[in-house]
Homo-oligomer: A and B are copies of this chain.
Amino acid sequence: MVDIATRVWNHKWKIDPIVRSLIDTDFYKLLMCQSIFRNKPDTTVTFSLINRSKHVPLAKLIDEGELREQLDHIRSLSLSRGESTWLRGNTFYGKRQMFRSDFMEWFEGLRLPPYYLERKGDQYELTFEGKWHEVMLWEIPALAVLMELRGRSVLNTMGKFELQVLYARAMTRVWEKIEVLRDIPNLSIADFGTRRRHSYLWQDWCVQAMHEGLGAAFTGTSNCRIAMMRELEAIGTNAHELPMVYAALAEDDAALSQAPYDVLQDWHDEHEGNLRIILPDTFGSKGFLKHAPDWLAGWTGVRIDSGDPATGANIAIDWWKERGEDPSTKRIIFSDGLDVDKITELHAEFAGKVNVSFGWGTLLTNDFRGLVPNDALAPFSLVCKAVSANGRPTVKLSDNPNKAMGPADEIERYKRVFGVGDQVAEEVLV
């Protein structure tokens, strides 16, 4: 029997909204948002969409009107009562009341600030300006909307059974990956795939398949909405935007060189245990660790997010040893460009030396490579970054020069201040 009410209700939707919840976002955005709300409430930033895959002509694929409808829908969202209850009452990383009352009161009243959208050739310029803690919440939904609208432009032309087989193939692929991962003893892996997912429903499917297929080896998802709905752990710590904005705010070179540590000092005051994870590569991992204060060596682990991951892990291990720390008590989280082979390889190399975890992103939640003609559903490298703070440009060096961003003269200044020499370029796939 058809549920008539459901069918009529569905007809009332003006659009099929891609993002339907303010917590359909990565957990670390909320942790960082609270930190910014507390420590840098007056900072003004600009976030900007950057399509590193110029061969994907987003403005040709995506109708501007449809994009505006989706972004406008996101601006209409506010935290639901159940979501608020979950954020206030749930245990995150073993801790209750991770989100303080003043933050939650502000978040409950939040609507996302305006966006600025303009077509430039075959690409879109999409920027967000305003208070850092408000603007930064646009990053994930903006990326998810663009990724999914681009997907819809391809799916719209397909037949019913062709579509079903497309998803059948994608499901089979995910499951075959899970079957490989299943054989890795003591694996610890989480879903980090929100931002470049194929779609919400697909990410939700992948997360549930990982949960069934891997059991306890699947430690959770970065997506808060899915974590809530599926009663899984919400996973994530912090990201490059914190040191990038702190650095942009620095008044001189001395303050600049100190900025990355100031960020972690604030974090240190707020969090403990598994949330004390260093992301060392914003301005070059080597120099960052070399000049780091000793209290940082006491942190729980390091996340490797650019450059050759084995090299990055060995740098961290050597650094811990130099500082008199036992690497076997530490955690290394790999989160850059992972797929099953790389996960298997890194686990084999490092599992005996440190505690190893994986934050698996795009190739978990968007591996549609080769499944349609012209590879039109292959994931691509789209980011949404803080490009300025209080009117000053931000800079990211990364351990991979292909991931660097910022004005050329500022990049040179940062390289000088942080003592970054030659770097090995790695192809950025996703």
A residues within 8 Å of B by Cβ?
A: 1-3, 5-6, 9, 159-162, 164-165, 167-169, 171-172, 175, 208-209, 212-213
Chain B residue with the shortest CB-CB distance to A211: B161
Central interface residue in A6, A168, A169, by most chain B CB within 10 Å: A168
Given that A2-B3, A6-B1, A6-B3 are contacting pairs, would A212 and B172 also be in contact in the complex, using a CB cutoff of 8 Å? no
Distance in angstroms between the alpha carbons of A1 and B159 in the assembled complex:
27
Query: What residues of chain B lie closer than 8 Å to A175, measured between beta carbons?
Result: 161-162, 165, 168
Query: What residues of chain B lie closer than 8 Å to A3, measured between beta carbons?
Result: 1-3, 6
Distance in angstroms between the alpha carbons of A5 and B2 in the assembled complex:
10
Give the shortest distance, in Å, between A9 (CB) and chain B (any CB).
7
- Partner of A168 from the list B9, B161, B171, B212 (CB cut-off 8 Å) is B171
Query: What residues of chain B lie closer than 8 Å to A160, measured between beta carbons?
Result: 212
Distance in angstroms between the alpha carbons of A416 and B168 in the assembled complex:
54
Q: Which 5 A-B pairs have the closest CB atoms?
A: A168-B168, A3-B3, A165-B175, A168-B171, A161-B212
Contact A213 B171 (CB under 8 A): no
Query: What residues of chain B lie closer than 8 Å to A159, measured between beta carbons?
Result: 212-213
- Partner of A171 from the list B1, B5, B165, B209 (CB cut-off 8 Å) is B165
Query: What residues of chain B lie closer than 8 Å to A208, measured between beta carbons?
Result: 161
| Seed contacts A1-B6, A159-B213, A162-B212; 16 additional CB < 8 Å A-B pairs | A1-B5, A1-B9, A3-B6, A160-B212, A161-B175, A161-B208, A161-B209, A161-B212, A162-B213, A164-B209, A165-B175, A165-B209, A167-B168, A168-B169, A168-B172, A172-B172
Query: What residues of chain B lie closer than 8 Å to A213, measured between beta carbons?
Result: 159, 161-162
Pull 23 A–B residue pairs with CB atoms less than 8 Å apart, ordered by A. Answer: A1-B3, A1-B5, A1-B6, A3-B3, A3-B6, A159-B212, A159-B213, A160-B212, A161-B175, A161-B208, A161-B209, A161-B212, A162-B175, A162-B212, A162-B213, A164-B171, A165-B209, A168-B168, A168-B171, A168-B172, A168-B175, A169-B172, A172-B172
Give the shortest distance, in Å, between A209 (CB) and chain B (any CB).
4
Contact A172 B165 (CB under 8 A): yes
Query: What residues of chain B lie closer than 8 Å to A172, measured between beta carbons?
Result: 165, 168-169, 172
Chain B residue with the shortest CB-CB distance to A4: B3
Distance in angstroms between the alpha carbons of A172 and B173 in the assembled complex:
11
Chain B residue with the shortest CB-CB distance to A9: B1
Query: What residues of chain B lie closer than 8 Å to A9, measured between beta carbons?
Result: 1
Chain B residue with the shortest CB-CB distance to A167: B168
Central interface residue in A9, A161, A171, by most chain B CB within 10 Å: A161
Distance in angstroms between the alpha carbons of A261 and B169 in the assembled complex:
50
Give the shortest distance, in Å, between A172 (CB) and chain B (any CB).
5
Distance in angstroms between the alpha carbons of A175 and B162 in the assembled complex:
8
Distance in angstroms between the alpha carbons of A3 and B161 in the assembled complex:
26
Chain B residue with the shortest CB-CB distance to A162: B212
Query: What residues of chain B lie closer than 8 Å to A162, measured between beta carbons?
Result: 175, 212-213
Query: What residues of chain B lie closer than 8 Å to A6, measured between beta carbons?
Result: 1, 3
Give the shortest distance, in Å, between A274 (CB) and chain B (any CB).
28
Give the shortest distance, in Å, between A19 (CB) and chain B (any CB).
22
Distance in angstroms between the alpha carbons of A175 and B167 in the assembled complex:
12
Chain B residue with the shortest CB-CB distance to A208: B161
Chain B residue with the shortest CB-CB distance to A1: B6
